[in-house]
Structure 1
Amino acid sequence: MGKICMVQEKKFPEYSFQTKGTENLTDRIN
């Protein structure tokens, strides 16, 4: 999940900010 978080931060900085503590949402976006 850490890797996905990093990738999401670079691809979708806005989403990363919104889903800071929501790993489920981050996984769904991917």
Structure 2
Amino acid sequence: MRRLLLQIIAGILGFWLAIKFVPGVEFRGPT
């Protein structure tokens, strides 16, 4: 259960960092 929670947190952090490091990007899904 804890491993799943850590994977979710890591995914959210990774997504947030991706937005932060690519200024002006809008999430539109895969294009």
The structure whose Rg is larger is: 2
Higher helix residue share: 1
Higher RCO structure, 1 or 2 (CA under 8 Å, sep 6+) = 1
Classify the TM-score, shorter chain.
Answer: 0.3 to 0.5
Normalising by structure 1, report the TM-score.
Answer: 0.38
